[in-house]
Amino acid sequence: MHIVVFGAGSLGSLLGGLLARSHDVTLVGREPHVAAVEQSDLQIRGEIEAHVRPRARTDPPASADLAVVTVKAGDTETAAAALANCDLDACLSLQNGMGNEAALAAELSCPVLAGTCTYGARLAGPGKVECTGIGEVVLGPRGGGQSALADRVGRAFAEGEIETTVADDMPRRLWEKLAVNCAINATTALARVPNGALVDGPAAAVAERAAREAATVAREQGIDLSGDDAAAAALGVAEDTARNTSSMRQDVEAGRQTEIDAINGYVVAQSGDVDVPVNRTLAALVRAWEAR
């Protein structure tokens, strides 16, 4: 399968590199990373060790069987516009936050699948990516149910030796992942702590409350996600990725814009009459940092 990974940052480079072990992969990213991959291959280190040779460029190719989108939520519309000129059979979003699949589907003529990913990744330099934690890719139709296309894409990921589940309940899974991100990302970014600090200690209660609030909003929208399940999922990810630096903490430490509007901010925007004081506070504090 020819797979284009749009957004060859840390996660995109890791997944693209793993897929390149079994598929024809094109990474779409920025310089100098693209040039380094083209000239010297891609080195994967950490929990997974591999030396692979995907193609790399700064714009999408003319066609591909599958586009995997891993850009920040704020760049989704830019990705959609660029991929609109690429002849695709399918597109899969593996992004943080909510609303990405709808934005892609509005521009693309191919089916758009939803997905989540809990692999940990960090760019260690041009042409080098570190796997900081082995997780799982879950994918399926964005509206739920089953499809032959989702099965085909799931097999492609499995062939790349990526832990993969094809699910028929993606709306619930997306909200559960959102609850996990609400708990972990802003909390670790503001406190400057690794994910494991949320397992116990002063920030644990903040993270748990953020996840429970997200679950309450999800239920108001007809998603069967209990507060206990959301809190347990957040705790489980924090334990499994205890040494990891969350993506939002990486953004803050690098002085980049965050995905706060698509995570805690999204919960606030969708809350209606539901009281979400922890998510509202976390979103406001991160936005205050961004405004600075």
Q: What share of the chain is helix, strand, coil (3-state, %, to 5)?
A: 50, 20, 30
Beta bridge partners of 115: 139
- Per-residue pLDDT, averaged over 215-222, amounts to 97
User: Does the reported pTM lie above 0.85?
Assistant: yes
The domain ranges of the chain are 2-166, 170-291
Residue 41, sorted as left (phi over 0), alpha (psi -120 to 50) or beta, turns out to be: left
- Per-residue pLDDT, averaged over 219-245, amounts to 95
Residue 92 pLDDT exceeds 90: yes
pLDDT per position as a tens digit, 108-141: 999 999 999 989 899 999 999 999 889 999 999 9
Residue 201: the pLDDT is: 87
Kindly report the average pLDDT of the chain as a whole number: 96
- Peptide bond preceding 54: is omega within 30 degrees of 0, i.e. cis? no
What does the alpha-carbon distance between residue 40 and residue 249 come to, in Å, rounded to a whole number? Answer: 30
Interior/surface letters 249-283, b for 16+ CB within 10 angstroms, e for the rest = bbbbeeeeebbbbbbbbbbbbbbeebebebbbbbb
Indicate which residues carry an active-site annotation.
177
pLDDT per position as a tens digit, 43-77: 999 999 999 999 999 999 999 999 999 999 999 99
> What percent of the chain has pLDDT above 90?
94
Q: What is the DSSP string of 128-155?
A: EEEEEE---EEEEETTSS--HHHHHHHH
At 228, is the pLDDT very low, low, confident or very high (cuts 50, 70, 90)? Answer: very high
Residue 133: the pLDDT is: 87
Alpha helices in 95-203 (DSSP H): 100-107, 148-159, 170-191
**Which strands make up the sheet holding 42-46, listed edge to edge?**
50-52, 42-46, 128-133, 120-125
What does the alpha-carbon distance between residue 224 and residue 219 come to, in Å, rounded to a whole number? Answer: 6
What does the alpha-carbon distance between residue 182 and residue 234 come to, in Å, rounded to a whole number? Answer: 9
What does the alpha-carbon distance between residue 74 and residue 49 come to, in Å, rounded to a whole number? Answer: 31
- The DSSP output letter for 197 is G
pLDDT per position as a tens digit, 149-169: 999 999 999 999 999 999 999
Residue 26: the pLDDT is: 98
At 292, is the pLDDT very low, low, confident or very high (cuts 50, 70, 90)? Answer: confident
CATH superfamily of 2-166: NAD(P)-binding Rossmann-like Domain (3.40.50.720)
At 243, is the pLDDT very low, low, confident or very high (cuts 50, 70, 90)? Answer: confident
Give the CATH fold of the 170-291 domain.
N-(1-d-carboxylethyl)-l-norvaline Dehydrogenase; domain 2 (1.10.1040)
Residue 82: the pLDDT is: 97
